């Protein structure tokens, strides 16, 4: 028996909107630790890793580990029917073939339940080792989204370079080139507007902007985004989910020839 | 010219 009650149901709505276009089907894993998902896009270039820790739920019951295969597009459709202030409860029976999403309005005057069929998914799980990253950039998530969107109007790929001077986002296309440099900025009034660059070694990597733009659909989840870079490693773009966990996107770099 | 790496080049299946 599984029963997860999330007072801030909008978090789950936002998570689904962030990942549904990147991954079609995925297994949600439920354990004492929390509600999690790891899935790759169909071309095995990008990976989504979600964790919602059990402590973040108002009620969390998971009698035994359960893996539930879901079509993320269909799950997103159902969660879209929840109000932004609704409390969302996810329910499933051990060995059952469906999952129920229950939506309660804040004053309990509307209660809806949506039942969705589960599916069998053969998913490959990748082991992601803890790594020391050569450069970690923390910046406003809206700024990161703006940069990716702007650069994708010029080119298909972005070169992200971190040096002592700052972080540079560059692209090149048929009409010309673009370079955007952000310097460290901790002197802002609000911490969510800061840009913080931690660099061990200068690093420069190339990525497909199509994927970066897809990741930025998670912007409503967090005011800041963390971009972790190391040569020879996929970049990690992380959105923290308040008090609960994270949504991380891994993207394999392109090889310059 | 650039070509796209896949994730399996970095992370091993478990």
Q: pLDDT tens-digit profile of A135-168?
A: 999 999 999 999 999 999 999 999 999 999 999 9
Q: Please state the ipTM of this predicted complex.
A: 0.95
pLDDT of residue A58: 97
Q: Kindly determine whether residue A45 and residue B11, on different chains, have CB atoms separated by under 8 Å.
A: no
Q: Which residues of A100-119 are buried (b: 16+ CB within 10 A; e: fewer)?
A: bbbbbeeeeeeeeebebebe
Q: State in Å, rounded, how far the first CA of chain A is from the last one.
A: 53
- Say whether residue A40 is in contact with chain B using an 8 A CB cutoff: yes
Q: What pLDDT shows up at residue A249?
A: 98
- In angstroms, the CA B11 to CA B13 distance is 7
Chain A, chain B: beta-carbon pairs less than 8 Å apart: 59
| pLDDT (0 to 100) of residue A229 | 98
| Burial track A71-94 (b if 16+ CB lie within 10 A, e otherwise) | bbebbbebbeebbeebbbbbbbee
Q: Do B11 and A234 touch (CB under 8 A)?
A: yes
Q: Decide if pLDDT at B2 tops 90.
A: no
pLDDT of residue A257: 66
**R_g over Cα of chain B:** 10
Q: How far is CA B3 from CA A47, A157, A211, A238, B6, in A?
A: 18, 11, 15, 24, 10
Cα A257 to Cα A201: distance, rounded to the nearest angstrom: 23
Which residues of B are less than 8 Å from A127 in CB distance? 11-14
Q: Which residues contact A180 (CB under 8 A, 6 or more apart)?
A: A147, A150, A151, A168, A169, A170
Check residue B1 and give its pLDDT. 64
Residue B13 is nearest to which of A124, A232, A256, comparing CB atoms?
A124
Q: Supply the pLDDT for residue A95.
A: 86
Tell me what pLDDT residue A33 has.
95
Tokens standing for A139?
Answer: 């910046």
CB-based contact A44 B8, cutoff 8 Å: yes
A55: buried, middle or exposed (CB in 10 Å: 19+, 13-18, 0-12)? Answer: exposed
Extract the residue ranges of chain A whose pLDDT is less than 70: 257
**Minimum Cα–Cα distance from A128: chain B residue:** B11
For the record, the structure tokens of A89 come out as 């409860």
CA neighbor of A41 nearest in space, from A23, A14, A28: A23
**What is the pLDDT, as a whole number, of residue A78?**
97
Dist CA A252 CA A126 (whole Å): 13
């Amino acid at each position: 028996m599984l029963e997860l009650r999330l007072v801030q149901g909008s978090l789950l709505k936002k998570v689904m909107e962030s990942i549904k276009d990147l991954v079609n089907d995925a297994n949600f894993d439920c354990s004492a630790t929390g509600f999690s998902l790891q899935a790759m896009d169909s071309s095995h270039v990008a990976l989504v890793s979600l964790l919602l820790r059990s402590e973040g739920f108002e009620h969390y019951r998971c009698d035994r580990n359960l893996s539930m295969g879901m079509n993320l597009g269909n799950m997103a459709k159902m969660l879209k029917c929840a109000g932004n202030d609704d409390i969302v409860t996810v329910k499933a029976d051990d060995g059952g073939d469906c999952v129920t999403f229950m939506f309660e309005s804040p004053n309990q005057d509307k209660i809806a339940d949506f039942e969705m069929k589960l599916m069998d998914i053969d998913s490959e799980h990748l082991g992601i080792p803890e790594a020391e990253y050569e450069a970690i950039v923390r910046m406003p998530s809206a700024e990161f989204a703006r940069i990716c969107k702007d650069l994708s109007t010029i080119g298909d790929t972005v070169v992200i370079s971190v040096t002592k001077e700052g972080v540079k986002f560059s692209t090149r296309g048929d009409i010309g080139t673009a370079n955007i440099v952000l310097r460290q900025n901790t002197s802002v009034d609000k911490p969510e507007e800061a840009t913080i660059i931690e660099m061990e070694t200068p690093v420069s990597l190339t990525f497909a902007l199509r994927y970066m733009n897809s990741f930025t659909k998670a912007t409503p989840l967090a005011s800041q985004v963390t971009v972790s870079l190391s040569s020879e490693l996929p970049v990690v773009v992380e959105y923290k989910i308040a008090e609960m966990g994270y949504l991380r996107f891994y993207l394999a770099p392109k090889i310059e020839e | 010219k650039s070509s796209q790496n896949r994730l399996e080049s970095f992370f091993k299946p478990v």
